[in-house]
Structure 1
Amino acid sequence: MLRAQAISLENRLSNVSLDLISADAVHLLGPNGSGKSSLLNLLAGLISPHQGQLWLEGRELSQYAPAELAIQRCLMEQTQQSVFALTVKESLSFFCAERSLPDVLEQALDISPFLQRPLNQLSGGEQRRVQIARCLMQVWPAIEQGRALILLDEPVQGLDFSHQHRLCELLNELARIGNMLVMSHHQLNLAERYANRIWLMHQGQLVADDIPKQVLTESLLSRVFCCNVRIVTDTEQNRLIQTYL
């Protein structure tokens, strides 16, 4: 379990409390500047709250050595630039203790066609898929045991529709075996389909923490995102979320 109690960061987060348990697939939503990235950095132990406390597996997060956290939790930040002139395969080996790319990642992220290409010759979406693979490989032994904390900041940014769905299906499978997942993004329909819980941020506060049907409502989304929201149901009873000004 990961637990946060009344954590705050000056000018960024205010009095946020939450719990994350094994097999959770949480989608973190909210407008730009609402505190999503700050919250992920706090949960990763990269920064400390000005107030409040965090626990991971019953132990204060601040008591973990960096090396301990590095094999138990991973964080993919929004922007990551390689300073090395490496191929994709070399980069994955360099950053991931020379572990080979697991078949499930290679297939789900569709990386094999460009393993031998330099990173700086990839499209933005291809680079994003490599970043996701590199992040997950960092803690792959813990993932296989169902004991990892996976934190991803806007992983679907730059991905086409097919790869967005393939990524979400992969992450849900990793959650099903016991791993804890939190991913931020702005795709309401992906959250509707793939999240088992949604954390909704607004102006540095956690304003909702519940199943998608309870959080993704027209009134709440319209208030938080300052635009009109309409939810329609198709012939197969799937809810589709439309936004407009």
Structure 2
Amino acid sequence: MMNSQPIIDIKNVCAGQRLINFSAQIFAGEQIHLLGANGAGKSTLLEALSGYLPVKGEVFLDGIEIQQYSASQLTKKRSYLPQLVSQIPILKVFQYLELFLPNMTLSADAIFERLCTDFQLEPLLRKSLTQLSGGEWQRVRITATFLQVWDGGQFSGKYILFDEPTNNLDIVQQAMLDKWIKNFCDCLGTVIMSGHDLSHSYKNASSIWMMKQGRLVASGKPDNVMTEKNLSNIFMSEIKLNQNTSNKVWQIINLED
């Protein structure tokens, strides 16, 4: 059950033309998927919610403006997986993951082992990060993202920001990511993530935020907002629901040659 008070309150946030008067509220336990064309402002919004991007307007975390949190306070409250990383650290996998576990406890150690098992990292722990494939590096980054905020069984007020986290993941690892996101949200943690797989978002999201040219143009439960009209609007192309399947599948039609 979600709390009545938002854990994040976004008020008239602007970042040039990338975000324009963006306002919304986020509650404990939500899994919010951001949908929109490339350049719609999804990554900018996630960066603003991480506290790394200075913006006009206000972002409140539990009633306190995000800029009033110290770096150490914010680190315990949220974790953020950006889409791109400019440089890969010269560390071994286990050394990198230990950076996200400053206080090793029996509980933290157990979570570390479970994550490493589920994301198949045990054979990689002694390897250098620079030796990893794209998929291996993504799995390490996802594990670190969970470790940063997974310090107990009650996560209300904590949130994870994922920017296209399924990049480079095979079908098994995508399912494992979904499992951990669901577990986190079931414990009242909150996840906000971007992606491009409409069927995946329809199946997994508790709420959809549709973005176009820096603005929030529709939000709500997948069944209510993932209409052909709304999707065609945000992607600026005619999108139809394929009715010849038991699962919802959207497709683009009438592409110009």
User: Please, what TM-score do these two structures have when normalized by structure 1?
Assistant: 0.91
Does the residue aligned with 2:231 lie in a helix, a strand or coil? Answer: helix
Structure 1 residue 183 and structure 2 residue 193: aligned? yes
Match of 1:117 in 2: 127
Match of 1:67 in 2: 72
**8 Å CA contact retained: 1:92, 1:98:** no
Superposed displacement of residue 191, structure 1: 0.2
State the AA in 2 paired with 1:216: M
Counterpart Cα distance in 1 of 2:153 and 2:168:
27
Structure 1 residue 159 and structure 2 residue 192: aligned? no
Unpaired stretches in structure 2, ≥5 consecutive residues: 1-6
Match of 1:146 in 2: 155
Aligned with residue 86 of structure 1, among 87, 91, 98 = 91
Aligned with residue 226 of structure 1, among 212, 236, 252 = 236
Q: Percent identity?
A: 33
Superposed displacement of residue 82, structure 1: 4.9
Counterpart Cα distance in 1 of 2:144 and 2:36:
26
Does the residue aligned with 2:99 lie in a helix, a strand or coil? Answer: helix
Aligned with residue 25 of structure 2, among 19, 23, 36 = 19
Match of 2:204 in 1: 194
Counterpart Cα distance in 2 of 1:23 and 1:15:
25
Structure 1 residue 242 and structure 2 residue 248: aligned? no
Counterpart Cα distance in 2 of 1:81 and 1:140:
26
Match of 1:38 in 2: 44
Deviations 1:17-65 (A, max 9, x none): 1111110000111111111111111111112322x21111111222111
Aligned length: 242
Counterpart Cα distance in 2 of 1:66 and 1:145:
22
Counterpart Cα distance in 1 of 2:100 and 2:180:
21
Match of 2:16 in 1: 10
Unpaired stretches in structure 1, ≥5 consecutive residues: none
Give the aligned CA root-mean-square deviation in angstroms. 1.9
Counterpart Cα distance in 1 of 2:88 and 2:171:
29
State the AA in 2 paired with 1:165: A
Does the residue aligned with 1:84 lie in a helix, a strand or coil? Answer: coil
**8 Å CA contact retained: 2:164, 2:195:** yes
**8 Å CA contact retained: 1:157, 1:185:** no
**8 Å CA contact retained: 1:13, 1:39:** yes
Counterpart Cα distance in 1 of 2:251 and 2:175:
18
